[in-house]
Amino acid sequence: MINVTKTFLPLIEEYNKQVQRAWDNEWLTNRGELVLELEERLKKYLSISNIIMTNNGTVPLQIALKILGNKGEIITTPFSYVATTAAIVWENCTPVFVDIHPEYLTIDETKIEAAITDKTTAILATHVFGNPCNVVAIEAIAKKHNLKVIYDAAHCFEVKYNGKSIFDYGDVSTCSFHATKLFHTGEGGAMFSKNLDLQHQLFYSHNFGHNGPLAFHGLGINGKMSELQAAMGLAVLPYMNKIINERKKVVDFYNDTLNFSKLQGLKIRENTQWNYSYYPVIFDSEEQLLKVQKALNENQIFPRRYFYPSLNTIEYTIGMSMPISESIASRILCLPLYVGLSVVDMTRIVTLINKNLC
């Protein structure tokens, strides 16, 4: 069986070696030695100045919205994983959708200003499949209207834009370290801010608001990463060059062999160092997608419909029409992409797709 992704696992001995450190320390949570070491190693690896490790990739969005959203209207994308919109609603804010660019698949920055009202407090945009939003234009809009910017960068480990980490953009940027991601801690995530005062708020907010063992800075929740999660991250990190290179080989194979006269691929924004995180293809129609998906499934190949449905259509949102997002969501399929996917299997995938495009 070939799934859309497969978790990269280091040698069990390498993971056990890191776990043994936690056992020896008798310290499993509350920012122990392994979490602190992983934060430092990631700052160096990603060339960033600040990082806060968290227990999943959604908590950083919730914390950022709690601090910056002020229960207002949040301009956001309808084309993302449901966690993006769910976090907005969960934090008692109101999602206001703006349609997407038909090629980059990120929020269409030219449509943002028309959606701003006196209730707007922030923009929450997703770098879709690791493809950056137009961060320069969004920053200019935010400054003009005194808005905060939060980026859902769940897919963006190791992505760079204009020569620097994508995590350096926005007031807050977040990432997921879920088991399906390039770099993972089994379950986990991180949040980033270059503003030291805001970074301080983010930090105490993910640790119950603590200021030492007995005092508190303010309101907080439990968003801390455990030592067992950090152990996985420390075991996976040395393999990142291999992971990126192997995924690039799969992407290159698809690029060279799929029939793009009948398919649309993802257009990567200029000046981007991409990370090969997903491989989406867009069909001419949903009927064509379903035909191809059926043929693949019958051969034990299971791509996935990321992102479906368009988030403006789910039950707890306002339901504004987003024609581009709704169209793309109905026609997009992410193909299998992971370390260890063989040329034989890639050939089977491409052959079945090209054959059923007729």
Last residue in a domain, options 238, 266, 296: 238
pLDDT in tens, 33-63: 999 999 999 999 999 999 999 999 999 999 9
Sign of torsion over alpha carbons 223, 227, 232, 236:
positive
271, 321: one domain: yes
List the structure tokens of 34: 């392994």
Beta strands in 166-248 (DSSP E): 172-176, 189-192, 210-211, 215-216
Question: Of 136, 139, 154, 144, nearest to 269 (Cα)?
Answer: 136
Residue 319 has pLDDT above 80, yes or no: no
List the structure tokens of 114: 């028309």
Run of H or E residues at 150: strand 148-152
233, 116: one domain: yes
pLDDT band at 213 (very low <50, low <70, confident <90, very high): confident
Residue 316 has pLDDT above 80, yes or no: yes
Last residue in a domain, options 210, 238, 266: 238
226, 326: one domain: no
**Rounded Cα distance, 96 and 195, in Å:** 26
Residue 102 CB partners (closer than 8 Å, separation 6+): 324, 328
Averaged pLDDT, 64-86: 97
Counting beta carbons within 10 angstroms of the beta carbon of residue 198, is it exposed (0 to 12), middle (13 to 18) or buried (19 or more)?
middle
Residue 332 has pLDDT above 90, yes or no: yes
Using DSSP, state whether 262 is helix, strand or coil: coil
Q: What local confidence, expressed as pLDDT, does residue 269 receive?
A: 98
Q: Find the CATH number of the domain harbouring 310.
A: 3.90.1150.10
Percentage, residues of the chain above pLDDT 90: 97
Residue 132 has pLDDT above 80, yes or no: yes
294, 181: one domain: no
Residue 320 has pLDDT above 90, yes or no: no
pLDDT in tens, 22-35: 999 999 999 999 99
225, 257: one domain: no
- To which residue do tokens 């897919």 refer? 155
Question: Of 78, 47, 62, nearest to 168 (Cα)?
Answer: 47
Averaged pLDDT, 294-315: 97
318, 259: one domain: yes
Q: Which domain holds residue 331?
A: 240-356
pLDDT in tens, 94-113: 999 999 999 999 999 999 99
**Rounded Cα distance, 41 and 47, in Å:** 10
Count of structural domains, the chain: 2
213, 85: one domain: yes
User: Would you state the torsion angle of the CA atoms of residues 226, 228, 230, 231, taken in this order, to the nearest 10 degrees?
Assistant: 160
Q: What local confidence, expressed as pLDDT, does residue 133 receive?
A: 98
- To which residue do tokens 């056992």 refer? 23
- To which residue do tokens 């950056």 refer? 132
201, 260: one domain: no
Averaged pLDDT, 276-291: 98
**Rounded Cα distance, 319 and 311, in Å:** 9
223, 262: one domain: no
**Rounded Cα distance, 2 and 233, in Å:** 25
Q: How many CB atoms lie within 10 A of CB 136?
A: 13
Percentage, residues of the chain above pLDDT 70: 100
**Rounded Cα distance, 124 and 122, in Å:** 6
139, 205: one domain: yes
Q: Find the CATH number of the domain harbouring 144.
A: 3.40.640.10
Residue 76 has pLDDT above 90, yes or no: yes
pLDDT band at 318 (very low <50, low <70, confident <90, very high): confident
Q: What local confidence, expressed as pLDDT, does residue 211 receive?
A: 87
210, 105: one domain: yes
Last residue in a domain, options 205, 238, 271: 238
pLDDT in tens, 148-161: 999 999 999 999 99
15, 129: one domain: yes
Q: What local confidence, expressed as pLDDT, does residue 256 receive?
A: 98
Q: What local confidence, expressed as pLDDT, does residue 8 receive?
A: 98
Q: What local confidence, expressed as pLDDT, does residue 7 receive?
A: 98
Averaged pLDDT, 114-122: 98
| 248 and 344 Cβ atoms separated by less than 8 Å | no
List the structure tokens of 167: 């995590």
Average pLDDT over all residues of the chain = 97
